[in-house]
Amino acid sequence: MTDVIDLGEYGEEFRRDPHQVYAMLRKSGPVHRVRLPVPDEHHVTWLIVGYEEARAALTDPRLAKDGSRIGMTFLDEELIGRHLLTVDPPHHTRLRGLVTRAFTMRRVEELRPRVQQITDELLDAMLPLGRADLVDSLSYPLPITVICELLGVPELDRAEFRKLSTETVAPTSSGSEHEAFVRLAAYLGDLIEDKRCAGPSGDLLSDLIRTTAEDGDRLSPQELRGMAFILLIAGHETTVNLLTSGIHALLTHPDQLAALRADRTLLDGAIEEMLRYEGPVENGTFRFAAEPLDIAGTAIGKGDPVMVGLTAADRDGDRFPAPDRFDIRRDARGHLAFGHGIHYCLGAPLARLEARTAIRTLLERAPGLALDGPPGDWLPGMLMRGMRALPVRW
């Protein structure tokens, strides 16, 4: 019987800085049996912390995303609907094909002027203050505004939506997570029905309702709700953390900040290094062994849950030398921050566009940007990696 490592025993320090624990685990092997520090639950899963093993696992068809294959379901499936992260081929192939008919690279590129306009408006409001919480002033409102406009979501009570959204990806308790899913499911169901009745309006959600494949296939009401959920949540939560952690990395590495200020052509590479160094998703959502398999000499039993450590893999020194050094000149290509394989993040081009626009504009307009105190708490759980607040001044 493999020993189970209780990650909860590392306490609050593990949430603040899990990299030391992952490095310690990697020294004794790329795959470990761990108990997750999840509120009100005692999940035991296999955790992959090595880069090559993680990359291979992300494309291994024996590791299923569809929990129903082993008799399991999750809150998002039960209350909202199946989506790209809870299905396998051929269902996944069908869903992704329908979505990519509407969510094209051209559509993302057409957002560039609007992303710049929103960024400028947010900085116009923020900069005269002299100091602010970057999360509240820029990192959160930019991506939530972009994704809501893209999907055609009417202006929401942003504070309430932020609370519900964050609770689904970084739950503070099982009860609050359940309530958040129930309320989001009701909202999205009403929104889709309103758009169906209103007719075509040119936004992404309206287009998804009417998208038809060559064989006449369309998304069902439940699939539409699941797709709206994953696009809304994944479409902004990840970018919030990318912007916040990326700026935090620059401000805590003044030599790298100075290099970027001196040469803005380093920006694209800097964003890839931000993604590698402190990616917005700590671990991929659960996979399940559809059959017995071996990963790096470790026997995984049929039905066992497996978690792929994206953050851990991107700090593997065998793939990225001196992995704990933040170096914007590093060739960070190949990082796993957006995943790999068929489940590679659909919104990665949009996240990169928003990060490139926001970080470049912020550095241009706030030459004296600096930290204004310690960052806020890190998000709970092991899915998202990000801070609740980042005080800055200029």
Residue 386 tokens read as 């990000």
Average pLDDT over residues 113-128: 98
Greatest pairwise CA separation for the chain in angstroms: 61
- Give the pLDDT of residue 39: 59
Distance CA(23)–CA(21), nearest Å, equals 5
Q: How many CB atoms lie within 10 A of CB 356?
A: 16
More confident: 153 or 387? 387
pLDDT exceeds cutoff 90 at 25: yes
Pairwise CA distance, residues 131 & 128, whole Å: 8
Residue-wise pLDDT for 234-260, tens only, equals 778 899 999 999 999 999 999 999 999
pLDDT score, position 29: 96
* 88/169 Cα distance (integer angstroms): 21
Nearest to 136 by CA among 107, 157, 108, 159: 159
Q: pLDDT-based confidence at 163, cuts 50/70/90?
A: confident
What digits encode the pLDDT tens for the residues 26-68? 999 999 999 998 754 558 999 999 999 999 999 999 999 988 8
The CATH number that domain 4-393 falls under is 1.10.630.10
pLDDT at position 129: 97
What is the DSSP secondary-structure string of 285-327? PPEEESS-EEETTEEE-TT-EEEEBHHHHTT-TTTSSSTTS--
254-269 average pLDDT score? 97
Query: Would you put residue 296 in left (φ > 0), alpha (ψ -120 to 50) or beta?
Result: left
Shortest CA distance to 15 belongs to which of 356, 287, 387? 387
Question: Going by DSSP bridges, is the β-strand pair 44-48/31-35 parallel, antiparallel, or unpaired?
Answer: antiparallel
